[in-house]
Structure 1
Amino acid sequence: MKRVFLNAICISILTLAACKKKEPPVNTEVPVNLYKVKARKVLYYDQYPSTTAALSQVSLLPQVQGAITGIFFTEGTHVKKGQKLYEIDRRIYQDTYDAAVANRKVAEGTLAQSQQDADRYEYLNKYNAVAKQLYDHAVITLQNSKSQVQSADQAVKTAKTNLAYAEVYAPFDGTIGFSQVKLGNVVSAGTTVLNTISTDDPMAVDFVINEKQLPKFERFQQQKHAPTDSLFTILLADNSLYPINGKISVIDRAVNSQTGAITVRLVFPNPKGMLRVGMSCVVRVHNQEPGPQIVVPGKAVVEQMGEYFVYTAKDSLMNNPKAGADSVKNKIKKLVAIQKKVQVGETVGANMIIKSGIEDGERVIVDGVQLLHDGSKITTANKMGPSAGGKGAR
C-alpha cells in the first residue's frame, strides 16, 4: 500500500514537470512590407461629374393661329439660320393683307381729294370769297384724311407681319429635335410648342466645384487666351476620351449659400456633332503642380477621425536578450514603426499624393498597418504576406 502511494506521488511530480515544459518565446515583431518614398513627377486629373448644354436653345412657338400646312426639315438634323421649318395656313393672313392694302389705297384717294379741297378753300379764303366755316372744315378733313392714311399704313404692316409669321424660320444654326406637331394640327399663338432648336458647335459643358477651388478656376479663366494644352478634357459616358480639348468660358455669378458650390462652364468645339445636349460626362482638369511630388500606395494611408496618418520604419538600438549584460554586443538594431500625420492630395489610381508629413527617402509601411501602433516592433523578414496568405512581397 505504501509503495502504491509513493508511485502515485512520483507520477504526479513527472506530470507536473511535463506541464511546466518551457514554451518557445512569442515573436512580438509585426511582419510588414516597406516602400521607399521617392519624389517624382505625377500626371493626374481632378475629375468632376458634368453635363453638356447648348450655348443657345429656344422653343419654337407660333406667333399666329392656324393649321400646319408644311414641314420642311428632317428631325434631329442640323439646320441653318433662316431655313424655313414650318408653314401655317397662309390664306386668311394673305386675304387680310390684301384687304389692308386696298383700304390704304382708298385712304390715299380720300387724302388726295381732301388736299384739293383744302387748297381751293385756302385760295378763296385769302380773298374772303368763301365762308370761314367751310375753310375750317376743309382743313380738318385734310388732317383726318392724313390720319386715315397713317392708320391704313399700320394695318398693312400688321397684316404683312402676320402673313410673315405664317412661316417659321430657324433663328440660328443648330440641331432641331422631334416635331411636336404634325401636318393638319391647329396651333395657337404663343402656346403651342412646335419644336426645340439648340446650338451644337461649340458645345458647353457645365460642372460644379466647391468654393474653395474658385480662386484656382478664376486663374484658369484669366489665362484663357493662353495655350490650353490638355488642361480641360472630358470622358464620355462610355469612358472614351473626347478627342478635342476645351477651354473655360464662364463662372457663375454667385456661390450657392447652402451648398458652398458654384457652376463652371467649359466650351468644346463639336465639329462632328459627337456631343449632344444633356449628355453625362466627366470633366478632367489636368494637374498644374510643378516639380516632383511624393506618392505612396493608398493602402499605406490610415484615416482616423478625419485625419490621415502613415507609418514609417525607423532603425532603433535595443537590448540583445541573447547577450550578457556585460557583453559589448548587448545592443542590436531593430525596426520600429513611427506614426506620422500627413496632408494628403489627390488619389491617382491605387496611389495617393502626400503634400506634407513625410520626406523623400523615408520608408513607408504599406502592409500590416492594421496591426501597428506608434512604436510597434516590425520585421521585413516575413515568409508569409502580412495581409493574407502567400509569400511576402520582396
Structure 2
Amino acid sequence: MFPDKIKYYSVATLILIMGSCAKKDQQQQPTQPPAVNVTLNEVTTTNASFYEEYPGTVVPLKEIELRPQVTGFITGIHFQDGARVRKGQLLYSIDAQLYTANYDQAVANLNVQQANLARAQKDADRYHELAKNDAVAKQLVDNADAALEVAKRQAEAAKANIQAVQTSVNYTKVTAPFDGVIGISAVKVGAAVTAGQTILNTVSTDDQLAVDFNVDQKEIYRFTTLLKSQKGQDSTFSLKFGGDIYPEHGKIALIDRAVDPQTGSIKTRLVFPNKKGQLRAGMTGSVRVLNNAATQSVVIPYKAVTEQLGEFFVYVAGDSSKVSQRRVTLGTTIGPNVIVKEGLKEGEKIAIEGVQNLREGAVINAGK
C-alpha cells in the first residue's frame, strides 16, 4: 500500500513542477509593444518669404548727461520738463556772484599789471636814452630791460587769468548742446551742485532713433551685404512692439567693430525716422528682417516638433517601420509651419500625428 501512495505523490509532484516551469517560461517571454498609429509627412522645401525676428532696444543717436562745470546753487530752471530744446538754449542758471567777483578782481589785477608795464616801459626807454650819451651805467640799463620783461609776463598772466575766470562765469549758464528733447530735471531751484559730478538732466535727439540688436557671427556676411546694397528705407527692416508693427521702415546704420567673444554675436544698429514721436529711447521690441532669398528652405508642420530641455526634435521614419528621434534647429514660424535650419533633408518622412506616443525606436503603423 505504501509504495503505491509514494508513486502517486511522485507523479503529482512532477506534474506540478512541470506546470510551474511552463508558466515561468510563458512569463519570461517578452511581449512585443503594439505599433503606434502615426501619420507621416514627407519633408519638402520651398522658396519661403518670411521675417526673422531679433530682440532690439531703441536708443537715441545722440544723448548727453548735463553736468555743471562749476560748483554752486541752482538759481533758475528755464525749460519745461520733457520739452523740445534748441542748441544754445539756456536751461539752468547757477549762482554767479562768486565767479563774477573773481572776474572783477581779475580785471582790476590786469589794470595794475598794465600800469606796471607802462611804467617799466618808460623806465627802460629813459635808461636807453641816457645810455646813448654814456650818462648811465650799463647795469642799470640791463636792470630796466629785465624789469620791463617781467612786467610784460605779468600782464600776459593777468590776461590769461581773466579768460579762465570768464570761462567760469560762462559756465554758470548751462545751455543745450544740440537740438533734441530734454528729460525731467534731476534738481530744483536752490539745490547745491558740484562741478562735474551732479547730473542735472539728459538731452537726446528724437527726430531719428536707432534700434540696436545682436546677430550671430554666422550672419555677419549677410548683414554686411545688406549694409552695402541698401538704398534708403525699404521693406527689409521693420519694427514690432507686441502685436503692433511700426509704420516706418529702417535701414542699417552700422555693424559693430568686433564680435563679443562671450556671446558669439555682434551688435548691429538700424535707424528709423520718428516724425510722429512714436518711438522713445529705452523701448524694447522685435526687429523684423525680411528674408526673401532664392535659396530653398525646409518647412514642416510645427506640430511635428517636440521640445526637451530647450532642444527641439522630430521623429524620422526608417526603413524597418521604426522611428528615430532627431534633433533639429528651428527658424522662423510661418503660420502652422516652421522653417528647419538644420537636421532634415528633402524627401525624408517625419511623424506629424501621434507624436506624443512615440519613443526612440518605436514601431509605427503609418496611416495616410
TM-score range relative to shorter protein = 0.7 to 0.9
Q: Contact 2:318–2:324 at 8 Å: present in 1 too?
A: no
1:351 paired to 2:334: no
The residue type paired with residue 156 of structure 1 is I
Q: Contact 2:52–2:291 at 8 Å: present in 1 too?
A: yes
TM-aligned CA distance change 1:188 to 1:340, over 3 Å = closer
Paired residues for 1:165-184 under 5 Å: 165-184=171-190
Partner of 2:116: 110
Partner of 1:10: none
Paired residues for 1:5-154 under 5 Å: 32-33=38-39, 40-154=46-160
Partner of 2:195: 189
How far apart are 1:119 and its partner, in Å? 1.2
Distance 1:106 1:129 in 2: 31
The residue type paired with residue 141 of structure 1 is A
Partner of 2:367: 379
Partner of 1:234: 239
Distance 1:307 1:73 in 2: 56
Bigger mean CA offset, 31-40 vs 242-251: 31-40
Tell me the matched-pair count.
330
Partner of 2:25: none
The residue type paired with residue 331 of structure 2 is E
Work out the percentage of aligned pairs sharing the same amino acid: 43
Bigger mean CA offset, 156-165 vs 303-312: 303-312
How far apart are 1:358 and its partner, in Å? 4.8
TM-aligned CA distance change 1:34 to 1:178, over 3 Å = same
2:250 to 246, 264, 268: 246
Partner of 2:16: none
TM-aligned CA distance change 1:144 to 1:40, over 3 Å = same
How big is each residue's C-alpha offset from its partner over 1:305-327, in whole Å with a ceiling of 9 and x where there is no partner? 9685455799x9xxxxxxxxxxx
Higher relative contact order by CA 8 Å / sep ≥ 6: 1 or 2? 2
Partner of 2:206: 200
How far apart are 1:249 and its partner, in Å? 2.1
Q: 1:81 aligns to what SS in structure 2?
A: coil
Partner of 2:223: 217
Q: Contact 2:232–2:251 at 8 Å: present in 1 too?
A: no
TM-aligned CA distance change 1:307 to 1:174, over 3 Å = closer
Bigger mean CA offset, 299-308 vs 37-46: 299-308
Partner of 1:275: 279
The residue type paired with residue 248 of structure 1 is I
Q: 2:244 aligns to what SS in structure 1?
A: coil
TM-aligned CA distance change 1:147 to 1:241, over 3 Å = same
Using the size of structure 1 for normalisation, the TM-score is: 0.73
Using the size of structure 2 for normalisation, the TM-score is: 0.78
Distance 1:264 1:149 in 2: 56
How big is each residue's C-alpha offset from its partner over 1:221-259, in whole Å with a ceiling of 9 and x where there is no partner? 333x435522221112x4311111112223222323233
How far apart are 1:84 and its partner, in Å? 0.7
Gaps of 5+ in 1: 1-27, 317-335, 381-394
Q: 1:217 aligns to what SS in structure 2?
A: helix
Distance 1:337 1:169 in 2: 76
TM-aligned CA distance change 1:374 to 1:111, over 3 Å = same
How big is each residue's C-alpha offset from its partner over 1:37-90, in whole Å with a ceiling of 9 and x where there is no partner? 775442322111121122222221111122111111111122111111001112
Q: 2:202 aligns to what SS in structure 1?
A: strand
How far apart are 1:273 and its partner, in Å? 2.2
Q: 1:200 aligns to what SS in structure 2?
A: coil
TM-aligned CA distance change 1:358 to 1:340, over 3 Å = farther
Bigger mean CA offset, 287-296 vs 367-376: 367-376
Partner of 2:20: none
How far apart are 1:163 and its partner, in Å? 0.7
How big is each residue's C-alpha offset from its partner over 1:149-190, in whole Å with a ceiling of 9 and x where there is no partner? 101101110121111001001112222111111111121212
